[in-house]
Structure 1
Amino acid sequence: MTSDPTVTLAHVTTHPAGLFLSFEGGDGAGKSTQARLLGEWLTGLGREVVLTREPGGTELGLLLRDAVLHGDHVDARTEALLYATDRAHHVASLVRPALARGAVVVTDRYLDSSVAYQGSGRDLGADEVERLSLWAVDGLLPALTVLLDLDPVAGKARLTGDPDRLERAGDEFHRRTREAFLGRAEAEPGRWLVLDATRPVEELAAQIRARVAALLGVTP
């Protein structure tokens, strides 16, 4: 893998032994539900499945998650660096070892979230955050990224509990992040599967299974 911090997503290819999948989208879109359903299906096929998330997929990640989402105020650049720190450790300590032994790794959020939320939402610049994120993971990209697209207002209505720092960022912030996700998917259709998150849960799960089955060479 390249460690050149100037490389962009379009220049990166990766062929690990296992299969790396990510879910993206706004809060309330159903990422966790679909990741769980996909994991159950994959387990039924006899595959080792690692379900994880960012931030918070490791013990260190849990500390960073609490700091960046629920701690004292941090500026936008510090926020981006905290996410990059979590991601670097997550990939080095959990994702790459699992892929090396042939597991299917399914993560709820990955580097596209940083590009959308910090690059576009926080106006730090998508290219700059993309380079930082790629450097942090040494170029590792998912074979498939599922975008569950949902209007941010509808997503907010689905949320329960006290909102975290990103959930409190405002409608314009979340509009920019949604547009960023859709723009990235349009620019790289081979890696993305864009689905309308208002569709029934099982209908979405079936579409996701079909795409993953094609990657695995099995019947959905």
Structure 2
Amino acid sequence: MDIKYEIRRSKKRKKLTINIERDRRIVVLAPENTSDEKIRQVIDSKKQWIHEKLGHPQKFAAKPHAPGKEIINGESLYYLGHQYQVELIESTNDELVFDNKFLFPMQEKEKNLVLLKKWYVRCAKEKIIPRARKFAKDLGVEAESIKIVDNKYRWGSCTTKNNINISWRLMQAPMFVIDYIIIHELAHLIEANHTPEFWNIVKAQLPKMEKAKLWLKENGQRVQEEL
């Protein structure tokens, strides 16, 4: 069976790597002068590894429920790793209010998921962007931009133009997990590949790196699928 893949070349990249995204896309990250033929040869040599990754029982486990979350009284939602109860209230305000509870306007029932996403995005911009700038300063790097994005299958990314993108869905995770993703992407401004040097950079900034990776392994699918 032929393997379909996307190629992303970069002047800064020193070696070829293959990424399997959570939506099962295969992305080849390659140095700028790598030929299509060379990439095809590498893909052919890694066919068994690719098929094993695509069949990973945890990364691509079947969804335990239909996507989406119903906003009803007594339901709970995650914010910074903790669960808070949902309450529908009579209100003249058409916005979600957080006060140790998620207070949704009863008259906006059909729009409550939209209000929730909007609230998460606002919180992400307020909390993640300043935090990312601080960590960038600590690392001695400078990103072209730091943006909050609506990405369901990637927590973050560092583009070839040095732009850092972070998913707003991370606002459901504990702060040490958010810090891990921020530092992980910023570290790519120093080392493009996941080399031992790269992981040393991340761990030096975040001693809880392994704990954060474990949290994402155990909870990541739930966080990504619910909204």
- TM bucket normalised to smaller: under 0.3
Name the one with the larger strand percent. 2
Q: Which has the larger radius of gyration?
A: 2
Name the one with the larger helix percent. 1
What is the TM-score of this pair, normalised by structure 1? 0.23
Higher relative contact order (CA 8 A, sep 6+): 1
